[in-house]
Amino acid sequence: MLRNLKIKNLALVDDVQVGFNGGLNVITGETGAGKSLLIGALRLLLGERADKSMIRSGESSCSVYAEFGLEDTIHIDAILSDIGLDACDGGLLIIRRVITESSNKTMVNDEPVTLQVLKRLGNVLVDMHGPYDHQSLLDTATQLEILDAFGQVGETKTAYLSEYRKLREVQKQIDALNSDNEEDLERQIEFLDYRVNEIETAKLSTEEDEQVEEEHSAIANSQQVIELANGAVNALSEGEGCAFDALASAQQCLNQLVKLMPEANEWHDEIESTVMQVQEVVRSIETSAAGIDASPERMQWLDDRLTTYQTLKRKYGATVEEVLRNCDTWKQQLQELRGRDKRHAELRAGLEVVFQSVEKAGFDLRSKRENVADNLSGCITKELVDIGFEHGFFDVQLTPCEPGPSGIDQVEFGFAPNAGEDMRPLRMIASSGEISRVMLATKAVLARHDQIPVLVFDEIDANVGGEIGGAVGRKLAQVAECHQLICITHLPQVAACGTTHLAVSKSVQDGRTYTEVRLLDTDSRPGEIARMLGGGTEVALQHAHEMLEKKYSGVRRQA
């Protein structure tokens, strides 16, 4: 449950700390005193967007703080684990939010989180119901959600949604095929076909690309290559005073020297080895130079081939590898476009299979909904009797519809508030007081199945009064037996049913307005009830005592 709520510098609130208890917590006060600021602060803690206009005039920041004590933390811990935070220690969850003119800081158990995380936590912590939220009950989509929540059909609904998404995906592919213009398709096929043919005709390869560049460069410099090669050969073996002649002369001298100096044998062998190396180098140079094909025909072929590679890389990719990868992609696209009719037939056949799966899953979901619809009708009708519709009747009508994200059913809540009246769709009921009570009856039924620990009602009792107000109060107290319930009310009959009573007031001090929240006790509570009854007269005070001591003696009061 929500244990404490602290608010500082938020609108009219200077510094307020509010403690809540289990059961029905009622909040009362004059119009404009700041009751809704408490709910607004709670909404901020549960992920509602904020801006600097909320900061109290003259202050640089505002802050809100909530402390929850939870018996079951499994859902909260799952969210915390998902974002990398530790689980709640002893069921304690603390949410804090600080808003300045330039920043917005959000903390959970003293760790920074995003607004999206707060919203996720809020979805499993608190069910907020504002003064106009009962209008949502008129929406058939909301009505379907209520039926599904009551019937606990989550797994069946998820299974249906999975099949429905498959159906939509197949239909999306069919729609894409159908939306293509035939002339555009032909142009696209012609364009891709031209690209693929141009690349495949060229017979590109990475190895040839490198070889062509190297040979083209060599032939382009063939004259200089041949001149340099000839020069090297002359210097080594053919020219006057070449290296070979000098080595031969040295070799002859060493042949004579060997006879005079035994160590000259080693010199002789080294010179002979050198002579052989020079001869080998000369042969290599002559072979390479002779292998250069510098004919005009070869040069033209290399020019054409080099141009082909450069052109295709400029048009279709920076490298040969990229050009070939793009070619493979375009070939695949061509295949798909040319096989469009075949693909269309395959998709149509697949659509029929998926549609049958959707229908089966939809019928399973409908069967579960039909099983709980009458039960929901009976439960809400019983609750409506308790809050003043003695002869009222509530009905849930299911009708088939085309498959959609929520199933193959439409739902319509019907209501006959009085004996002898025909059942009419709930959306056709004009009285907001009647709709508010239907919402309360619905919440009372769902509360038994709902694991959300805290319910907040902001003026759900609007436009009701008298004995009906008392019935609403008793119903709220009944709901509060299995949930902590926080209720802002203007009805003394409802306020008298609370187990904890908080009174909100405002005052002006030194030209500034301040909001105060007081926890009422046995002595102060009758005075607040009397104020709500119309004044502080002895008659009103006596009536307040009677309401607290007698009329609602069956409802637990704050000690």
**CA nearest neighbour of 366 among 409, 322, 419, 405:** 409
The answer to whether the CB of 480 falls within 8 A of the CB of 539 is no
Q: Give the span between the Cα atoms of 395 and 449, in whole angstroms.
A: 20
Last residue of a domain, one of 306, 338, 370: 338
Phi and psi dihedrals of 553, rounded to 5? -65, -20
Supply the pLDDT for residue 294.
64
Q: Considering the domain boundaries, does residue 258 fall inside one?
A: yes
The answer to whether the CB of 488 falls within 8 A of the CB of 458 is yes
355: which 2 tokens?
A: 């549609």
Phi and psi dihedrals of 395, rounded to 5? -140, 150
> Are 122 and 265 members of one domain?
no
Beta-bridged to residue 27, according to DSSP, are 488, 502
Longest dimension (CA), the chain: 153
Supply the pLDDT for residue 132.
65
Q: Considering the domain boundaries, does residue 7 fall inside one?
A: yes
Q: Considering the domain boundaries, does residue 470 fall inside one?
A: yes
DSSP-based three-state secondary structure for 131: coil
Q: Give the span between the Cα atoms of 45 and 121, in whole angstroms.
A: 10
> Are 124 and 214 members of one domain?
no
Angle between helices 340-386 and 320-338 (to 10 degrees): 70
The answer to whether the CB of 500 falls within 8 A of the CB of 519 is yes
191: which 2 tokens?
A: 């364009």
Alpha carbons within 13 angstroms on the beta-carbon side of residue 189 total 13
Question: Which is it for strands 454-458 and 126-129: parallel, antiparallel or unpaired?
Answer: parallel
> Are 10 and 115 members of one domain?
yes
Supply the pLDDT for residue 106.
93
Supply the pLDDT for residue 121.
92
State which residues of the chain have pLDDT below 70.
131-134, 179-182, 220-227, 289-294, 430-432, 465, 550-559
Domain of 484 in residue numbering reads as 2-131+423-551
- Show contacts of 103-111: CB within 8 Å, 24+ apart: 104/50, 108/80, 109/80, 109/85, 111/85
pTM of the model: 0.65
Q: Give the span between the Cα atoms of 534 and 334, in whole angstroms.
A: 83
The answer to whether the CB of 518 falls within 8 A of the CB of 502 is yes
**CA nearest neighbour of 199 among 281, 101, 289, 320:** 320
Phi and psi dihedrals of 462, rounded to 5? -60, 140
> Are 316 and 191 members of one domain?
yes
Q: Give the span between the Cα atoms of 322 and 332, in whole angstroms.
A: 15
Kind plus residue range of the DSSP H or E element containing 551: none
Q: Give the span between the Cα atoms of 69 and 88, in whole angstroms.
A: 10
Q: Give the span between the Cα atoms of 445 and 426, in whole angstroms.
A: 17
- 176-201 tens-digit pLDDT: 777 666 677 788 888 999 999 999 99
Q: Give the span between the Cα atoms of 241 and 52, in whole angstroms.
A: 98
Q: Considering the domain boundaries, does residue 370 fall inside one?
A: no
> Are 123 and 191 members of one domain?
no
Last residue of a domain, one of 314, 338, 362: 338
Supply the pLDDT for residue 431.
66
> Are 126 and 220 members of one domain?
no
Kind plus residue range of the DSSP H or E element containing 418: none
Beta-bridged to residue 332, according to DSSP, are none
**Within 10 Å of residue 195's Cβ, how many Cβ atoms?**
19
Q: In what order do the strands lie in the sheet with 104-108?
A: 13-19, 2-10, 61-69, 92-100, 104-108, 111-112
**Within 10 Å of residue 88's Cβ, how many Cβ atoms?**
19
**Within 10 Å of residue 118's Cβ, how many Cβ atoms?**
21
DSSP-based three-state secondary structure for 225: helix
DSSP-based three-state secondary structure for 22: coil
> Are 332 and 217 members of one domain?
yes
> Are 120 and 17 members of one domain?
yes
Q: Give the span between the Cα atoms of 557 and 535, in whole angstroms.
A: 22
Distances (CA, A) of 553 to 346, 494, 497, 542: 72, 13, 9, 15
- What CATH number corresponds to the domain at position 458? 3.40.50.300
Supply the pLDDT for residue 557.
39
Q: Considering the domain boundaries, does residue 140 fall inside one?
A: no
* Domains identified in the chain, total number: 2
**CA nearest neighbour of 62 among 13, 28, 121, 122:** 13
> Are 539 and 475 members of one domain?
yes
- 277-317 tens-digit pLDDT: 877 887 887 777 666 666 778 778 888 999 999 999 999 99
Last residue of a domain, one of 338, 363, 394: 338
Kind plus residue range of the DSSP H or E element containing 397: strand 393-404
> Are 200 and 330 members of one domain?
yes
Q: What is the DSSP letter of 89?
A: B
Distances (CA, A) of 284 to 181, 229, 237, 240, 281: 66, 10, 13, 21, 5
> Are 233 and 311 members of one domain?
yes
Q: Considering the domain boundaries, does residue 377 fall inside one?
A: no
**CA nearest neighbour of 323 among 404, 543, 331:** 331
Q: Give the span between the Cα atoms of 271 and 412, in whole angstroms.
A: 112
Phi and psi dihedrals of 119, rounded to 5? -65, -40
Kind plus residue range of the DSSP H or E element containing 491: none
> Are 296 and 197 members of one domain?
yes
Q: Give the span between the Cα atoms of 179 and 166, in whole angstroms.
A: 20
| Cα 152 → chain centroid | 24
Q: Considering the domain boundaries, does residue 358 fall inside one?
A: no
Give me the sign of the Cα torsion angle 452, 457, 460, 465: positive
Q: Considering the domain boundaries, does residue 157 fall inside one?
A: no
